[in-house]
Amino acid sequence: MKKILSVIAFLALAAGVLSAQDSRQRKPETIVQDVLALVPSTDASAVQAEIQSLVGAAPEALDILFGKMQPYEAQANEKTEYVIHALTQYASDPAHAEAVEPVKAAFQKAIAACTDQYNKAFLEQELRLVAYADAAPVVQPATAPDPVRPRLSAAEFASLALDDQRDAIYWIGENRDKSQLKLVLSNLKEAADENLCGDAAIAASKIGGKKAAKALVAALLGGKAPAMVTEALERFNGNIAPAVLKAMKKADGQNEAKLIELAGIRHIKGAFAKVVEALASPDEAIAQAARGALKGVVTEKNLAKVASLLDGASDGIADYKAAFQNVLNFLPEEDRTAVISEQIAKAANPQNFFSALAATGSDEAVEALKANLGGNHDAEALEALAATDNFDAAEPLFAAASAGQKNLLPRYLELVEDYRNDFDKITDYVKALDVAGNDNSLIVKVLEKMGRMKDSKAFQKVAEYIDRPEIAKEVADILVGQAPNVAGIVEYDTFKNIISKVNAVNAKASAKGDADAGYAIDAMKKLVDESKPFVNALTPEEAAQGFKLLFNGKDLSGWVGDLEGYAPVNGAITVNSNYGGNLYTEKEYRNFIYRFEFRFLEEGVNNGVGIRTPFDVDAAYDAMCECQILDHDAPMYADLHEYQVHGSVYGVVPAKRLVHRPLGQWSQEEIVVNGDNIKVTVNGEVLVDANVREACQGHNVAPEGKDENPYTVDHRNHPGMFNERGHVSFCGHGHGLQFKNVRILELED
């Protein structure tokens, strides 16, 4: 049957239940990937947190998880089965009653779709653990043949054909029929057919109990259907430690190695002393098994011994590092750096502990590793820095890559991608291109990172390399993937010229039979046609009313402030500003109707409209107000205050919450300011219609000069709220936004 890693020890560790929701805003696919990457693990709290995230992302995440089950013959389900069993235990815990229904539904859906007999049996067994009482009507034994009865005597069993005998044993195991354990164990011991013997081993593992454990250990040592017996012991329903530890006392040679390996897989902590003893065995098979098992039998009590073994290790050092890391996993995260540093301070071979130090990801760990650069353990320190998930490691990795160790450049790129904002990424990637020199492989790696950015500068930088024949096709592929994300924010003629070069490269590939290249050409031509510049103009009615166009579509005449962060591109003001980049009208206004169109190019965009604002202040407080522009539908804003949603008079008047149009689609907004009154309308829907003086009961600042203002929604002072005149501004908090058709009508005072 299937190979499933022991979850018994993991479950024993999971006495405390985490209740925090997944706060990282991951997609279901990412949650599944993260939990699969985490197992097997002795860090019970970390695994359980991921299981909770899986349930929270049901049904999508659970469907993805179950969909990763491979046919039994592939023997590739270890991690998936581990996670599914952990999910079962989580849902069957009374403390998680809310998880039962979504988990049951996912199991039932997976079982209905499953065509693999063994996978189906596994899923059915796990579903029964979720809810014994009401799972039975849903799940029936997968392959119970007509000749099988609930009870079979030895004679009746012997009269069956071999296939029916196998089905009978399978049925007994699936139903955990303890009354027929004797029949199962007799076949385990005496069956002539190896497959029947293996079926008996799996059935015994499901029934469980001391007798079954003892019989399976005996079968393992006796060589009966060893592969199936090993699997049965690895997934045994119960505690096999007593049987294994007893057998260890007498076993030697190959049998000793088998038991040691099993102890590691099943996390039998009582085997630690025996495993340590076996490390010194002259029998290399036993010593090797012991090194591999060590990580599975350790606890926090073994810290000193495992540290000593790691310090003196020469052969199998990776196994000793893994064991030391597993010991650390029992300790609170905040204590691990100090514990490792203490071991390093007294170690003969401190470099052996560097990987554990790197795994903490702490700032102190990175500094300690950097302190070893240039010394006797420079190579080991760099290797550890490359493994840590801390951006502070980027600088020494880049320095080493610049000095000739270019193999470190890809890791530097990953850290930049994960931690830097887009403004800094461009600079860092360009620096990386200089280090890559003429190494085309590294150049392509850098360009691939740049190609993931929704940034016009990045797009144009990638395009500079399409004239290199040896990498032209790779560059063209990167640009094809990036083009839809930057169409409209790259100046049209520039975009058109770049796509022309891309299509020329793909035309050559298409001529050689590359069908995808042909499709790409068609897609890029359509994209160019759709990216023509916008025309900014007043409607005849607006012109008659006296509206003035504030943006001519070509330049920012009439505007001051961040003229780099707000750039006219293809007839739209494209926002590339960093936090705090503001664009102001040159003219000041009192009462007016302000209209514009906007669209979000990426998720989570944040901006605002400053009303009656002075230059270089925070319009939310020192202007009359800031009207929020925000993609409040983005998951990152799940905990948003009501006064922060799009259209709100920030901190003063919450807006009616609208559902934004999809990314890339334009919306129309109108803001009417008249005295203390403000009205905000988006796509014809009124979001705010209020008097700000009344909203704060005349107290734009707290009485007696206090910092906390009980009269405003955000309890902040808004000293500029009663400004009589001021500029209109766009208040930038990042990129990914465009404006067009910006116009204003001044109203009579």
Class of residue 457 by CB neighbours under 10 A (exposed 0-12, middle 13-18, buried 19+): buried
Does residue 741 lie within any of the structural domains? yes
Domain tally, the chain: 4
- In which domain, by residue range, is 451 found? 381-529
Pair of tokens at residue 442: 């590294």
What is the distance between the alpha carbons of residues 453 and 476, in angstroms, rounded to a whole number? Answer: 15
Answer yes or no: do 102 and 162 share one domain.
Answer: no
Q: What is the pLDDT of residues 486-523, one digit of tens each?
A: 998 899 999 999 999 999 999 999 999 999 999 999 99
Same domain, 511 and 658: no
Residues 544 and 525 grouped into a single domain: no
pLDDT, position 42: 55
Boundary-marking domain end, from 103, 135, 167: 135
| Sequence-separated (6 or more) residues with CB below 8 Å from residue 332 | none
Q: Is residue 186 a part of any domain in this protein?
A: yes
Those residues whose C-beta lies under 8 Å from the C-beta of residue 405, and which sit 6 or more positions away, are: 382
687 belongs to a structural domain: yes
Final residue before a domain boundary, out of 474, 506, 529 = 529
CATH number reported for the structural domain that contains residue 673 in this entry? 2.60.120.560
Neighbours of 530 (CB within 10 A): 10
Dist CA 86 CA 39 (whole Å) = 10
Q: Give the helix ranges, DSSP H, for 615-678.
A: 619-622
Task: Tell me the pTM.
Answer: 0.69
Task: Say whether both 615 and 584 belong to one domain.
Answer: yes
Residues 613, 624: Cα–Cα separation, whole Å: 6
For residues 621 and 719, the answer to whether their CB atoms sit within 8 Å is yes
pLDDT at 40: 67
Cα 40 to chain centroid distance, Å, stands at 18
Report how far residue 174's alpha carbon sits from residue 186's, in angstroms, rounded to the nearest whole number.
Answer: 18
Tokens in use for 510? 């298409």
What is the pLDDT, as a whole number, of residue 577? 72
E-only strand ranges, 6-65: none
Q: Mean pLDDT of successive 10-residue segments in the chain (749 residues)?
A: 31 32 64 79 72 88 90 78 85 81 90 84 78 37 41 86 90 90 94 92 94 95 84 91 94 91 94 95 95 94 96 92 94 94 95 96 96 94 96 97 96 95 91 96 97 93 97 97 92 96 96 92 94 94 97 96 93 81 95 97 93 95 96 91 95 95 95 97 97 95 89 95 97 90 94
Q: What is the pLDDT of residue 580?
A: 63
Contacts of 165 (CB under 8 A, 6+ apart): 157, 187, 196
What does the angle CA 633 – CA 634 – CA 635 come to, to the nearest 5 degrees? 115
Predicted pLDDT of residue 25:
58
Output the pLDDT for position 1.
30
Contact at 8 Å (CB) between 256 and 228?
A: no
Cβ contact 248:275 at 8 Å: no
pLDDT at 24: 53
Q: Which of 238, 267, 292 is the last residue of a domain?
A: 238
